[in-house]
Structure 1
């Protein structure tokens, strides 16, 4: 059975990503039981049993006969969409149900993003094949060095490995087995408002149309990977007055010291309010517009440009096309294999 689901990331996805993922020590791989074998060389960790824990392995939920992934292909469609095809084998007798999950990891093993690929149902003793279309952050795939596939209960992907109901399958972005010396998955450290620094904010309008956009640069000033999203709020200009409009504007996941230029559209509930608002604030936080403005997150405040007005009826913006390989990354996120290898050697020698 082939199935294709299309999911678009949103503020909830970012909120779920901000949840802590607990990694622990795992156990020996369970022996295959009358099912299609796992791809040779793939790092897969079985459910906890009476075996001796493997050094550096990852603990999964206690499942007597966990589902197994095999025949996985990863096909990037562009910089923000990946098609994932995979086979799931259920060696047990009970029906396996829940969600298939995709976790992206950087060159240090840190979680970049966790995505719910789609719902799965596999009857006991059977094998089934699935295909999912996964939408990612604008620079997530370009930063990915390994991926991990697992299944979990419905809408429990963000709970991470402890919720896994399958073996863990680690691969390279090419779909090849991850090497044995690949950096082990690391615990996801919760992001904070103070992790982000915003600059170069610009709001534009395409002519007199209802096409509004914001461009800004966000930098991770912390010592750990930080993920979050932007929220643009509009005010009438009175002190302490609540915002009149707000719009989610971009998601990002950044390595320590990295920066990214984000561009996204601005959507107000009522475009006529563009003629009323005078002050704009761009907030960046782990939860985007789900976060309230407070003394810990005052936002990047600026005056609305005089050229920005409510749209004229009947005026449409010119269509804009973007190159397929656009990533929005700057030089701080550039990937150099030699540099990464040197960094890993230095880390190893320093331990």
Structure 2
């Protein structure tokens, strides 16, 4: 079955046990035995048989889930995945379905959670998921890995997956023999990155702002990170605005030019802001600025200000389509040249035609 929000899934009915009390001579009220819910990964549980005095052991066997019938479709930064999960064990399998992108050496570029999954023992279920992926990450991707993990643990990668691994190419075809095995994700620190050539710009008097910078990987391993731009009224103050600017994954010693849009909660703050700080870290704005990662502080460029209402990026006055009194200056249509020579031939001022 297929889930409904971004996913469609199995609807599991709950069996309600009722107790019927019968009044009459010789009748006895039976006490219902509540069922015991057994989750994936639990040890064998002793269950008393209502019709026997013996205690039997009911083993709940947990086995890795299996992916099959995988379909992959991409549209720029969006990846749609359809897949079937089979649970060959007897214990219920639950957790998260995950996707990770790998380079030509099997190193992790990016990881993402597809969605939560629950598959009863001995059954299969089909899921549909959609996840957004940075276009720059996708261009570096050579293989895609699908796997399941405990809830909220996709970031641990292959080292803690609870399914068999399923590798495929970005085209959706199965990965051929000899494809490098996916590696576990590596950790990174702020010291792994160097930032240079920072530029902050505004298009005319509009609300279009952007940040551009170059980030370099100083380590000998692939590392990923995010940029964070903080804006201050004065140095030493608490930041007035905080914006994520760019995601990246860099090969050892690799570098990349990042350009991203700056969107403040309140564009009017651009007139108050005097100081900007850009810092890079594994989790961007989720990390703190400290002595080990102070980032780069610089003055806001003098030409940047709050947007002027009613003016577009080219400095032209924007017309209100709902205002009937607005005057729209429509350029005159180009007129065909006048033929002063008569005849049906089109007029030309070329020397060979005029004889001059």
TM-score, scaled to structure 2: 0.67
1:294 and 2:290 equivalent? yes
| Alpha-carbon contact 1:204-1:308 (below 8 Å) kept | yes
Matches within 5 A, 1:155-194: 155-194=152-191
What corresponds to 2:321 in structure 1? Answer: none
Aligned to 2:65: 67
Matched, 1:260 2:269: no
Q: Is the 8 A contact 1:138 1:252 kept in 2?
A: no
Write the distance in 2 (CA, Å) between the matches of 1:227 and 1:76.
22
1:88-139 deviation digits (Å, cap 9, x = unpaired): 1122334332211111111111111111011222233322221211111231
* CA distance in 2 between partners of 1:163 and 1:187 (Å): 9
Alpha-carbon distance, 1:241 to partner: 3.2
CA contact (8 A) 1:235 1:278 kept: yes
Relative to 1, partners in 2 of residues 1:176 and 1:313: Cα closer, same or farther, differing over 3 Å? same
Distance 1:187 1:232 in 2: 30
Moved over 6 A (4+): none
Distance 2:5 2:99 in 1: 14
Query: How far apart in 2 are the matches of 1:304 and 1:241?
Result: 15
Q: Which runs of 5+ in 1 are unaligned?
A: 8-46, 48-61, 319-351
Quote how far apart the aligned CAs of 1:226 are: 0.9
**Equivalent-residue separation in structure 2 for 1:294 and 1:169 (angstroms):** 40
Shift of 1:272: 1.9
5+ residue gaps in structure 2?
8-40, 42-59, 315-356
Residue 2 (structure 1) aligns with: 2
How far apart, CA to CA, are the structure 2 residues paired with 1:127 and 1:314? 57
Q: Are the aligned partners of 2:61 and 2:91 in contact in 1 as well (CA < 8 Å)?
A: no
Quote how far apart the aligned CAs of 1:274 are.
Answer: 0.8
Q: Which has the higher contact order (CA 8 A, sep 6+)?
A: 1
In the alignment, which residue of structure 1 is the partner of 2:144?
147
Deviation of the 1:223 alpha carbon: 1.0
* Cα root mean square deviation, aligned: 2.5
**Number of equivalenced pairs:** 263
Q: Tell me the TM-score normalized by structure 1.
A: 0.68
Alpha-carbon distance in structure 2 between the residues aligned to 1:4 and 1:201:
44
How far apart, CA to CA, are the structure 2 residues paired with 1:86 and 1:266? 37
Indicate the structure (1 or 2) with the bigger Cα radius of gyration.
2
Kept in 1, the 8 Å contact 2:280–2:295? The answer is yes
Deviations 1:206-230 (A, max 9, x none): 3323232212221212211110000
Query: Any idea what SS the aligned residue of 1:158 has?
Result: helix
